Structure 1
Amino acid sequence: MSDAVVTHIAMPDGVKLAVHQMGPEDGAPVLMLHGLFSNAETNWIKYGHAGRLAEAGFRVIMPEFRVHGQSDAPHDPAAYPTDILADDILHLIEMLALESFDLVGFSLGARTSAKLLTMGLRPRRTALCGMGWQGLQEWDRRRQFFIDAIDKRETVKRGDEHFFAVAFMKTQGIDPVAARLLLNSFGDIDVEALTDIDTPIMVLCGSEDQDNGSAPMLAQNLAQAHYVEIPGTHMSSVTEKALGAALVAFLGE
């Protein structure tokens, strides 16, 4: 069981997001954004990463995106305007009165973090995990893959490339109607706007993770970024203690 405190915070449109928090209330805030169809427990809490940051003195804030975890998953298309996830995080930052804070994202959380940087958000430090250069630019292909997985959720067989995505969605209790609406809300990212950002960035990725393209290339293309490699694939890297250790080392600098 997690010792995180969970609150539900309403966004301007009334959708409530579950926000998990750990660590001292007066600690330096770190905002952690999970991956697609995952949640705070799976990405950050279960394998000890949030706990390590809390033990290091950070106030760890882990919102769950709409349609994910304990957050609302409305079926109204109006709840999914373009870039709603980034807008939700901006509203949350304002509601929590966060000024100086760090930002960490895994996969979709990393994509959302990159989007926020292009929108002018300037965290003290940013960690982009499980993300490569191509993953910030080829969302149409990835979106279609997951839409196909939703369409096949009742018929997919082992051996199909969508099998594990379908299994993960079912395990996580993802609402397929809401998920389809959300997948179509992600706007393009102006990758050129990322290249000169002076925020210190760590690009962290599993050694066998190519799901979102080349992480080393992403680090090379960002002015203040460096690459850190840990063991694992896209799915297994979040289970590695090395992930939490790397975050503590980077954010503690």
Structure 2
Amino acid sequence: MNAICEIHPGYDGQPLAVHRMGSGRPVLLLHGLFSDASTNWIRFGHAQRLADAGFEAIMPDLRAHGASARPHEAEAYPHDVLVKDLAALVAGLDLADFDLVGFSLGSRTAARGVITGLKPRRLVLAGMGLEGLAGWNRRAAFFLDAIDRFETVKHGDPAFFAVSFMKTQKVDRAAARLLLESVGDTEPAELARITMPTLVLCGAQDRDNGDPAKLVAALPDARLEEVPGTHMSSVTEPAMGEAIARFLSP
């Protein structure tokens, strides 16, 4: 099954590419940093797995990613711009009853979307631990440094894989820098607002965004499931799509 691509406005009218596959209960899936809907959700079969289970996978390319707008003006990246775009998409797509899934940066966006008022039936936070939600400044500094040293990073440098991925994805570094600086931090106390059933889904060797068990403990109604892999490889595992479909199925 092929995904169709539509263009929908972000919170300020910037065009966002939204890929859709399947029919049935809507599931909004948010990809990770420097990635896109195809890389995270379509290429390795997760969207197809959800479609086969009776869901419609709705997969935006986040601002500054994929086929969505990549503006270079600072005013296009206010605080929590991705959360603003998420709310605009939910409203514009008329998603009154839906599930919400994020991976890495997508998980941060999904969690902050719920904290600021979105009410999905179920929530999946993949590739995320407590420190990744509450310590964004440290994480962002790593990627900003990788952008600054983009042309000189060599194999063996801690930033090598991030830079290699940016090259593969043809990341617009000017837009990426502005986006990184716009992402809001989350106070641990705010997690009490995430009251719906939540799956924290993480690679067994993935602690890039902190401890997933601590995140589970901080949420009112959450459980942890691990799949094989590291932060980068876990999203390639069929087990990830299977775990998402299993958790979201009635």
What TM-score results when the alignment is normalised by the length of structure 1? 0.97
Please show how residues 39-78 of structure 1 align to structure 2 within 5 Å. 39-78=36-75
Number of equivalent positions: 250
- The answer to whether the Cα contact below 8 Å between 1:132 and 1:216 also exists between their aligned partners in 2 is yes
- Residue identity over aligned pairs, in percent, reads 55
Q: What's 1:211 paired with?
A: 208
Cα separation, 1, equivalents of 2:194 and 2:72 = 36
Q: What's 1:18 paired with?
A: 17
Computed over aligned residues only, the root mean square deviation of the Cα atoms, in angstroms, reads 1.0
Q: Which amino acid aligns with 2:66?
A: G
Cα separation, 2, equivalents of 1:77 and 1:106 = 25
Alpha-carbon deviation of 1:12? 4.2
Q: What's 1:134 paired with?
A: 131
> 5+ residue gaps in structure 2?
none
Mapped pair 1:247 → 2:244: yes
Q: Which amino acid aligns with 1:140?
A: N
Q: What's 1:6 paired with?
A: 5
Alpha-carbon deviation of 1:197? 3.1
Q: Tell me: CA distance 1:177–1:203, structure 2 relative to 1, closer, same or farther (3 Å).
A: same
Q: What's 1:110 paired with?
A: 107
Mapped pair 1:169 → 2:190: no
Q: Which amino acid aligns with 1:153?
A: F
Cα separation, 1, equivalents of 2:190 and 2:73 = 32
Cα separation, 2, equivalents of 1:14 and 1:136 = 27
Alpha-carbon deviation of 1:187? 1.4
Q: Which amino acid aligns with 1:20?
A: H
Cα separation, 1, equivalents of 2:111 and 2:194 = 10
Cα separation, 2, equivalents of 1:36 and 1:185 = 13
> 5+ residue gaps in structure 1?
none
Alpha-carbon deviation of 1:196? 5.2
Q: What's 1:186 paired with?
A: 183
Alpha-carbon deviation of 1:14? 2.9
More divergent stretch after superposition (11-20 vs 68-77) = 11-20
- The answer to whether the Cα contact below 8 Å between 2:9 and 2:89 also exists between their aligned partners in 1 is no
Match of 2:218 among 206, 213, 221: 221
3-state SS of 2:185 partner: coil
Mapped pair 1:155 → 2:155: no
Q: What's 1:91 paired with?
A: 88
